[in-house]
Amino acid sequence: MAETIESYENVVPEVVYFVDRRCFPDWEIAEQRIDFHDLTFVVGGMSDYYVDGEKHTLQAGDVIYIPPGCVRRARTYRDRPMRSYAFNFVVLHPANNVRLPLPTVGKGRATPELLRQVRDFLQVWVGRRPGYRMQARGLFHLLLYRLLSEADPAARLPPDDWRIARVMQYVLDHYAEPVDLKTLADMVGLHPVCLSALFRQKTRMTLTHYVASVRVGHAEMMLSTGEFRVREVAERCGFQDVSYFCKTFKAIKGYPPSQAVARAKANFHESL
């Protein structure tokens, strides 16, 4: 089973080195086994990186991720010196040897949106105003989230298509009510079949799954308070059948609603 971004919710990264790297023609990194995570965004020129002996040729728009324990070396092209933003970071929690679910090389992953976040980080890191480390930590955490969310459709930020954004907002506002595909389609001027296809294309999930995940998310929050019964939560979150609610909840969360209730009770007793 593929890991989701939820598996890394408690990861705490700390940037130990950052550089706006503008390479000279003879720039290189000597071969070394690293004890940190290397995350580099290439914005110009070309370079060859070798990770555990495997060659990767990078150019503008590429992102390379090298976890600790790997042997790394690199060199630029004399006629096309590389420019890049390079982060060296450690993971304070749960452990530095955790390997993030990122490809070694992400072709075209350095999108304009990500690079804007990198430049925001650069401004804070270079400015070094009081509290800059706290601000830089938050910016880098968000940057890492954006990269990780690309691998998890359920975590992706809302798409820029206004029709999909409007449908998603409607579901968030009316999750406790019956959500009808035709109503949603009429709202944005599309045929129901076209809306379903467009939603899947833009979000990489079905509209049915999105509605269910929103409802289950709210249900989990209610159950975690310990103030509601499973049947009551199901009804308040748009499920007419408690058995179907339990089945859907477990399919999305990986555990049954009863376990969420048990956790809430355990947390309550621990707080006494």
Q: Identify the band that residue 157 occupies on the pLDDT scale cut at 50, 70 and 90.
A: low
- How high does pLDDT run on average in the chain? 89
Residue 246: pLDDT over 60: yes
The neighbour count for residue 53, using CB atoms within 10 Å, is 9
CA nearest neighbour of 38 among 79, 77, 73, 7: 73
Amino acid letter for position 134: M
Q: Can you give the CATH number for the domain in which 47 is found?
A: 2.60.120.280
- Give the per-residue pLDDT at 272: 44
User: Does 142 lie in the same domain as 23?
Assistant: yes
| Same-domain check for residues 187 and 143 | no
Predicted pLDDT at 70 = 98
pLDDT at residue 117 is higher than 80 = yes
Q: Give the residue numbers spanning the domain of 252.
A: 162-270
120 and 171 in a single domain? The answer is no
Is the domain of 43 the same as that of 173? no
- Please say if the pLDDT value at position 27 is more than 50: yes
User: 121, 153, 185 — which closes off a domain?
Assistant: 153
**Per the structure, how many domains does the chain have?**
2
38-69 residue pLDDT tens = 999 999 999 999 999 999 999 999 999 999 99
Single residue among 123, 153, 183 that ends a domain in this structure = 153
Whether residue 107 has pLDDT greater than 80:
yes
pLDDT band at 152 (very low <50, low <70, confident <90, very high): low
Residue-wise pLDDT tens digits, 82-101: 999 999 999 998 888 889 99
The pLDDT score that the predictor gives to residue 161 is 85
- pLDDT the model gives residue 1: 37
Tell me: do 121 and 167 sit in the same domain. no
Q: Which amino acid is at 133?
A: R
Q: Mark whether 126 and 17 lie in a shared domain.
A: yes
**CATH number where 218 lies:** 1.10.10.60
User: For the chain, what is the largest distance between any 2 Cα atoms, rounded to a whole number of angstroms?
Assistant: 68
Of 16 and 158, the one with more pLDDT: 16
pLDDT of 271 above 50: no
Are 29 and 108 contained in the same domain? yes
- Rounded mean pLDDT of 119-142? 94
- Residue range 215-235: mean pLDDT, rounded: 88
pLDDT on residue 154: 54
Give the pLDDT confidence score for residue 158 in this predicted structure: 56
Residues 10 and 119 grouped into a single domain: yes
Final residue in a domain of this structure, among 127, 153, 179: 153
Same domain, residue pair 79 and 183: no
Are 169 and 143 part of one and the same domain? Answer: no
- Let me know whether 138 and 262 are in one domain: no
More confident residue, 223 or 182: 182
User: Which residues are bridge partners to 32 per DSSP?
Assistant: 72
Per-residue pLDDT tens over the stretch 251-263: 998 899 988 888 7
Residue range 138-166: mean pLDDT, rounded: 79
Is 145 in the same domain as 169? Answer: no
Q: How confident is the model at residue 267 (pLDDT cuts 50, 70, 90)?
A: low
